[in-house]
Structure 1
């Protein structure tokens, strides 16, 4: 009788251990002007849904430091991600919010032999930003029309938000001056295009999350790789030049069925990282 109880207890412990081991580590990158603590709620959602999951909200470039050049941030986040992903042969998931999604998008391009399984971009300006938002209160009210004057020069490209500012009325200046977004999205030719594409295509799933009531990401479809034309009409992802030419692998991922687009109305920008409905509808299933 005693041996039977011991065997049953051992089996339960083994099953419990196996269940927690089945979940891949989750690495979280925060957004602009915030830090790792801002991602506490979504961390709790993950741990409640998948007990035993190793969840790490990277504590780098918090607050005002998030305005530092994105290539500098990418390098430091890359080193932190490598430490975590190298601890497992099964890979890890990358969940990145707002500006963090642009950072993660870049590091997946420049990080060879990474083993990131799902890249989840949560309300991120993946195709750029063009519009006044509460996050940019430090600038004049004429921001939308005049931001290019700040951003499209050598000094401006040292400011993170300028590195994904995409003015559809000054596209020639964007393509000439952009040293970040135009490069990672293949809109501007460079010597590493092929290698970056190969690196990015190592992911198994790309999850794009956004919604029409975001209030910060402009246009909100940028979170789904859509963006404005020169007359500010939104051009959806599949009609974007970088998709049609498949320059960084987005079309390839889509055709193989590995792009999930999740539209969540009624959610304001910062609530995307603390909404249980967003987590259950758009994120939970991709973190196994």
Structure 2
């Protein structure tokens, strides 16, 4: 729905404080935790007595860590908060944080007590636009990013690969996506995932042997650490950024040489990614492939409300309708959430419960023009007319 006066969320009339606690999950590269404190402070002002929790893990550069690593660590915090508040909590996930919030709600569907989930300009349908990454990766383009992001190791390098959705290569997306396709509950689960990884590790050793000892020794030390201090996380991410940058240049050069065969650069890409992937750690962390798909659906359907907020002037989320679960088709046409029927999130088997939420009037959408992506969590009108009324 378009944000107009008639759309104001006045559902809290007649209710009195205390209000339920609100958990806020920051977005990609949003700096330190202070960037979300304004939102927390305004909620407390509008709803006096509200306890707010602003998640302070994976801020700044660390927000580029792969999404399952972030989801599992942040879920520890969320479940502790839930245990402190048996009356239930609300969660607001901004940008990438909305995907992490959904991942937590789905993966811990029997454990959380989240009542309202506000997805604030979050690419729930995935991202297909490289403009926001060009400063970090100048050679990256939307048309060629899949050659890097849809590799086994590319998925384990940086968070942005985990929610990349290239409509021209849905087959590769379903094969390689380790996060978005999983939380969408549309990915065929593999019982031999760990076997495949072990076999590929042997290939990696061979590839690593072809690289200079000086280069590999300095980077694998960073990749193999289990220390999740901010310093080591940032070191891992910095190494990943360097590797991804080099890989995007190689991909660009391969196309400039009129060689568009993705396989011609796969070895180079995987070799570079091997420098920053702690494979044993990721094997241990990929237990999500064995999770019960019914729990994912239960996680969302237990919500009292799912609120999806986005707008045409966002400038970062692409397409912007991804904030409301829309995707593009292979020709670039828009497929709104309710038309994602064929083996997708709104199909008859309702893999994550969107259809059930929609049919029971628990799914709310706001389309808000005139708001830039970096302004959503500061915009007073968005807070007053789209968010605060749902935080009972």
TM-score by structure 2 length?
A: 0.67
Tell me which residue corresponds to 2:145. 147
Any conservation in 1 of the 2:155–2:161 contact (CA below 8 Å)?
A: yes
Task: Give runs of aligned pairs for residues 24-43 of structure 1, distance below 5 A.
Answer: 24-34=20-30, 35-43=32-40
Paired with 1:26 and 1:133, the residues of 2 have a C-alpha distance of 32
Tell me which residue corresponds to 1:244. 347
- Cα distance, 1:77–1:136 mapped onto 2, change above 3 Å: farther
Any conservation in 1 of the 2:79–2:111 contact (CA below 8 Å)?
A: no
SS in 1 for 2:167: coil
State the 1:90 CA deviation.
1.3
Task: Say whether 1:72 aligns with 2:69.
Answer: yes
State the 1:201 CA deviation.
1.5
Tell me which residue corresponds to 2:299. 199
Paired with 2:102 and 2:133, the residues of 1 have a C-alpha distance of 21
Task: Say whether 1:89 aligns with 2:83.
Answer: no
Tell me which residue corresponds to 1:233. 333
Tell me which residue corresponds to 2:252. none
State the 1:64 CA deviation.
1.0
Paired with 1:135 and 1:148, the residues of 2 have a C-alpha distance of 14
SS in 2 for 1:242: coil
Paired with 1:196 and 1:187, the residues of 2 have a C-alpha distance of 11
Tell me which residue corresponds to 2:181. 182
State the 1:37 CA deviation.
1.4
Q: 1:218 aligns with which of 318, 339, 350?
A: 318
Tell me which residue corresponds to 1:5. none
Paired with 1:133 and 1:49, the residues of 2 have a C-alpha distance of 36
Higher mean C-alpha deviation, range 140-149 or range 234-243:
140-149
SS in 2 for 1:27: strand
Higher relative contact order (CA 8 A, sep 6+): 2
The RMSD of aligned alpha carbons is 1.4
Q: How many residues align?
A: 270
State the 1:244 CA deviation.
2.3
Task: Say whether 1:168 aligns with 2:268.
Answer: no
Any conservation in 2 of the 1:114–1:202 contact (CA below 8 Å)?
A: no
SS in 2 for 1:261: strand
Paired with 2:173 and 2:133, the residues of 1 have a C-alpha distance of 21
Tell me which residue corresponds to 2:377. 273
Task: Say whether 1:138 aligns with 2:136.
Answer: yes
Encode CA deviations 1:81-128: one digit per residue, 9 max, x unaligned: 111111122100000100000001111011123110000000000010
Tell me which residue corresponds to 2:256. none
Tell me which residue corresponds to 1:3. none
Encode CA deviations 1:231-259: one digit per residue, 9 max, x unaligned: 11111110013112311101000101000
SS in 2 for 1:96: strand
Encode CA deviations 1:253-283: one digit per residue, 9 max, x unaligned: 0101000101100000010110001111110
Paired with 1:218 and 1:252, the residues of 2 have a C-alpha distance of 26
Paired with 2:21 and 2:126, the residues of 1 have a C-alpha distance of 29
Q: Which runs of 5+ in 2 are unaligned?
A: 1-14, 190-289
State the 1:142 CA deviation.
4.5
Task: Give runs of aligned pairs for residues 54-65 of structure 1, distance below 5 A.
Answer: 54-65=51-62
Encode CA deviations 1:45-81: one digit per residue, 9 max, x unaligned: 2011101100111100011111111111001110101
Any conservation in 1 of the 2:134–2:140 contact (CA below 8 Å)?
A: no
Tell me which residue corresponds to 1:253. 357
Paired with 1:273 and 1:25, the residues of 2 have a C-alpha distance of 18
Paired with 2:148 and 2:330, the residues of 1 have a C-alpha distance of 20
TM-score by structure 1 length?
A: 0.90
